[in-house]
Amino acid sequence: MPDISIRKAATEDAPVLRDLIREAMESYRKDSGIPEGLLESLKESVESVAYRIEHNNCLCLLSDGTIVGTVTLTMSSNPVRYSFSDYTEEVLSEFGMSGYISRLAVADEARKTGLGVLLMKTVLSEAAKAGASHALLHTAVSNRRMKDFYFSLGFRLLDSEHSRGYERGLFVTDITPSESHI
């Protein structure tokens, strides 16, 4: 049984996280049927990853001391910035502090082991501790595996749009500040 831990990322983790994100996002791109060149995460620099680590809550999942997963939580007092339509804007305008989840990546060899669920439950707990009433994320609507994964964690599809060249869904889940996901 491997030794599993989750910790906050440090800027020196940026090169490893950039490579892990690229690996995971290339699989995500293929599984979603997204044409090459459309995912900004595949072009991300070490410097931009380091910036995200410094300015957000970026977590690392380790297995026997090796980083095998990551996720970023960005807190937002104005989640309307994630709206796609008048409908979404109306719904999001009623939300308080929200957590936006991005750059979820799990190494190929660690997928389907429950580690992604552990990482998501941890980031949802972090959002709850920070006072979030909701958590939001985007994923390709065409990616059945990812949709099912997020649905299993209590997310629901709020809206979708095509501005990035593929149908991208905005998913949301409710969080109570005292809620513990782990």
In tens digits, the chain (182 residues) has pLDDT values of 789 999 999 999 999 999 999 999 999 999 999 999 999 899 999 999 999 999 999 999 999 999 999 999 999 998 998 988 999 999 999 999 999 999 999 998 888 888 999 999 999 999 999 999 999 999 999 999 999 999 999 999 999 999 899 999 999 999 975 544 44
Alpha-carbon span 89 to 102, nearest angstrom? 20
Provide the 8-state DSSP code for 112: T
Closest CA to 59 of 19, 25, 26, 101: 101
Q: How many CA atoms lie within 13 A of 134 on its CB side?
A: 21
Backbone torsions φ then ψ of 174, nearest 5 degrees = -80, 145
Q: Domain map of the chain by residue range? A: 4-174
Look at residue 170 in the predicted model and tell me its pLDDT.
97
Average pLDDT, the chain: 93
3-state secondary structure of 84: coil
CB atoms within 10 A of CB 134: 21
3-state secondary structure of 71: strand
Instruction: Tell me the pLDDT tens digit for each residue of 20-66.
Output: 999 999 999 999 999 999 998 999 999 999 999 999 999 999 999 99
DSSP string, 3-57: -EEEEE--GGGHHHHHHHHHHHHHHHHHHHTPPTT--GGGS--HHHHHHHHHHSE
Alpha-carbon span 7 to 101, nearest angstrom? 16
3-state secondary structure of 79: helix
Q: CATH classification of 4-174, choosing from 3.40.630.30, 3.40.50.10800, 3.30.750.24, 3.90.180.10?
A: 3.40.630.30
